[in-house]
Amino acid sequence: MEQEQKSTTGFENIMESRLMPYRFWLFAAISAFLLVTFVLYLPLRFQQMVFTSMMEGDTHAMEEGAMMSGNEHGANVYHEESDIKEGLAVNLSVLPAPVSVGTSTRLDFFVNEKPGNVPVPASDLELEHTKLMHVIGIRDDMNEFFHIHPELMPMQEYDPIMASTLSTPYVFKKPGRYKIWSEIKKDGVVHTFGHSPILVEGEGTRSQKQVFFARNVIADNYQVAFLFDEPAVKNQATDLAFDIHTLTGQEIEVEPYLGADIHLTLIKDDWKQFIHTHPEDHNMTMNQHGGLELFFNEARANGDEKETHSMPASGMMRAGPHGIQFHVNFPESGLYKAFAQFRPRGIDLSPDEALTASFWIKVEETAPPKRVSQATLVVISLALIVGLSWGVKRFLEPKV
């Protein structure tokens, strides 16, 4: 009996020794399978699923935006002056020509109906943010920027054409190529007109484009923090916030500037897209893109450039509970420049003046896929491999 037990034990030992290499290779194969599955395949598959889901969400948002645009299309209309063949128009005349730096230039805006250039009296226009007309100008490097308000000149009401012309003097301080937009409101509809670019002659640099992405800048004697969840994405609602403090960090209140706490104007650097919006608790309107915005260009309060200095990212403030909130929908991807115009409460400025803080924004074509960090994936994968390998090893161990 004892001899039989020894014989059986010896046979088992022989079989165990013969099976050992196969167990090793089986264990190695299972480990390799787990490694490929949890380190390579599953993370890539997960990221692909997230990206697909986000793309479907983008499409849905674009469809919703298109529906909103259709419902609100009548509220705001954009025109290029040169394209208007019929309907309301504004024609710009610049005198004297050629325009020169440092010389007083008169900008005349003739409001009329096409065809026939039939005058539209200024008395038929409606106030929009306390003004009959807003005029925006920008140099092609996105630096020289003004926001002014033409008016009906005295005695003009006796001449039908002059009664339809809003005028203002302006002195260009730097040479270069400028584009001007005018905005009026009639019958409840806001119309923005893009006028042909003009060339300003004179000494000095004609263009000096500089793109920077500082999110905290100094405007006059105030710190302005610009916060949003970057990156901004085309045709997706983007929440923006501005928080304004003194240089010593004391939060300030703002007083109304042209009927709003802040006038936020954004323009794409190729002049093809213009957005003008106001804080959530003020008069916000929809443009044809479906965003809470109004066609307009960058505007500096009185035509006088307020110098803005960028601060290092390490000094960036977080927006406090009193940060002024906006919603913006960017209709195209690309580079935009944002101009936030505001008046600190009690500041010694004329009613039409404001301080301006400017920021560059890069708008992406599509949202980048949200991905789990590589470090997290490695830790999870290693933990799963160790756990499963231990289970396989226990399963393959010879039973005593």
Helices (H), 36-85: 42-72
Query: Where among 134, 169, 201 does a domain terminate?
Result: 201
Find the angle CA(128)-CA(285)-CA(300) to the nearest 5 degrees.
Answer: 55
Nearest to 392 by CA among 16, 17, 42, 33: 33
Residues 214-217: contacts with CB under 8 Å, at least 24 apart: 214/310, 214/311, 214/312, 214/313, 214/359, 215/313, 215/316, 215/359, 216/310, 216/311, 216/313, 216/315, 216/316, 216/317, 217/308, 217/309, 217/310, 217/311, 217/357, 217/358, 217/359
Give the residue ranges of the chain where pLDDT is below 50: 50-74, 282-321
Query: Where among 201, 220, 240 does a domain terminate?
Result: 201
3-state secondary structure of 63: helix
Cα separation, 390 vs 24, in Å, equals 13
360, β-bridge pairs: 337
Is 384 a member of any domain?
yes
CATH number, domain containing residue 322: 2.60.40.10
Is 177 a member of any domain?
yes
Q: Which residues contact 198 (CB under 8 A, 6 or more apart)?
A: 94, 99, 177, 178, 179, 180
Same domain? 238 vs 353: yes
Same domain? 253 vs 280: yes
The total number of structural domains in the chain stands at 3
Same domain? 298 vs 154: no
Is 78 a member of any domain?
no
Is 283 a member of any domain?
yes
Identify whether the C-beta of residue 99 lies closer than 8 Å to the C-beta of residue 199.
Answer: yes
CATH number, domain containing residue 179: 2.60.40.1930
Same domain? 46 vs 185: no
Is 369 a member of any domain?
no
How does strand 334-344 pair with strand 237-246? unpaired
Is 50 a member of any domain?
yes
Is 69 a member of any domain?
no
Cα separation, 329 vs 332, in Å, equals 9
Same domain? 267 vs 197: no
Same domain? 98 vs 240: no
User: 374-396 and 2-35 are packed helices; what angle lies between their axes, rounded to 10 degrees?
Assistant: 160
Burial (CB < 10 A; 0-12, 13-18, 19+), residue 223, is buried
pLDDT at 59: 40
Same domain? 215 vs 341: yes
pLDDT at 38: 58
Structure tokens at 269: 């650097």
pLDDT at 11: 52
Query: Where among 201, 220, 255 does a domain terminate?
Result: 201
Domain that residue 286 falls in? 211-364
Is 71 a member of any domain?
no
Same domain? 183 vs 231: no
C-alpha distances in Å from residue 5, one per residue of 9, 12, 264, 398: 6, 11, 92, 18
Which amino acid is located at 175 in the chain? P
Same domain? 18 vs 114: no
Same domain? 223 vs 309: yes
Strand order in the sheet with 237-246: 308-310, 216-219, 222-228, 237-246, 324-329
Same domain? 6 vs 24: yes
The owner of tokens 């993370």 is 43
Cα separation, 302 vs 101, in Å, equals 17
Same domain? 218 vs 360: yes
Find the angle CA(40)-CA(44)-CA(47) to the nearest 5 degrees.
Answer: 150
